[in-house]
Amino acid sequence: MGLAVGIILATIGGILIAELMRRRLARLDYRLGGEAMSDRTGASGATALPEVSGDTKSDDDVIDETRLPSPGPRRWMLVVLGLTWAGILWALCAEGTPQDLTQWARLVTWLAFSAVGLWLAVIDLDVQRLPDRAQVVLALAMLMGGVLTAWNEPLRWAVGLGVALACGAAFLLVHVISRGGLGLGDVKLVMTCGWWLALTSPVAVVAAVAAACVLGLIYCLVIRSRQFAFGPWLIAGSLLAGLTG
């Protein structure tokens, strides 16, 4: 009975948070004009198949994001975050209510990860760019969550840091080889996800990246485009691997 009530409350909370984010994002003030975009191509989260250029663009190719089509009301955000928060509560509390600071910190951190991750995903789907400010917020939240969940286990911190750096190096290599096909925003995001997931299990990091690649490929086939936003699928893969592993 207690778990059911908790899931209902988590679902309602997720819907309310998503509605607040939806209204804030509806202003579209995250979109950059041509000149601003030229200065910030390195923050791109766009991913492209090898033969298609990503965020390495000449000045003439820079897109004025303010002229992109309207993304619509995006009410799907309410469903996604509501169900995600319900799933997080089910995955972490099915065996009982958290009993200590570590368990509560893990629960709250996953809720924060999904909320900020949704914010990043919505923007990435719209403009194929992962804004640095939101990335910093996510990184700080995951860093704080990691400290609280493993505050007396410095070895886990070291493993998490090592995995984060390894993920960043691997994605940076892909960025270079693909000539920007994988955006630098994805490089930053995978480091944050790698740190947080590695605190649970380094295997979860591999599973998350694999899931992200599969989901991204499916999305690419559905939209029939060689260039797509990879950030949303990296976030989704991290949630699947972290909560089901």
pLDDT digits (tens, 9 = 90+) for 8-20: 999 999 999 999 9
CA distance 111 to 17: 11
Neighbouring C-alpha atoms within 13 Å toward the C-beta of 121: 22
Handedness of CA 166, 141, 144, 243 (dihedral sign): negative
Dmax (CA) for the chain in angstroms is: 60
Helix, coil or strand: residue 138: helix
What per-residue confidence (pLDDT) applies to 180? 85
**pLDDT exceeds 60 at position 53:** no
The pair phi, psi for residue 145, each rounded to 5°, is: -60, -40
pLDDT at 63: 75
pLDDT given for residue 36 in this prediction: 52
Give the C-alpha separation, 128 to 48, whole Å: 10
How sure is the predictor about 186, in pLDDT bands with cuts at 50, 70 and 90?
Answer: very high
Is residue 40 pLDDT above 70, yes or no?
Answer: no
Q: Is the pLDDT of residue 181 over 80?
A: yes
Give 47's strand partners.
182, 228
With 0.85 as the threshold, say if the pTM is over it. yes
Check if the beta carbon of residue 241 is closer than 8 Å to that of residue 204.
yes
- Among 30-34, 70-74, 122-126, 201-205, the minimum mean pLDDT is found in 30-34
Choice between 94 and 137, residue whose per-residue pLDDT is larger: 137
Task: Point out the least confidently predicted range of 78-92, 102-116, 147-161.
Answer: 147-161
Token pair, residue 165, equals: 């750096």
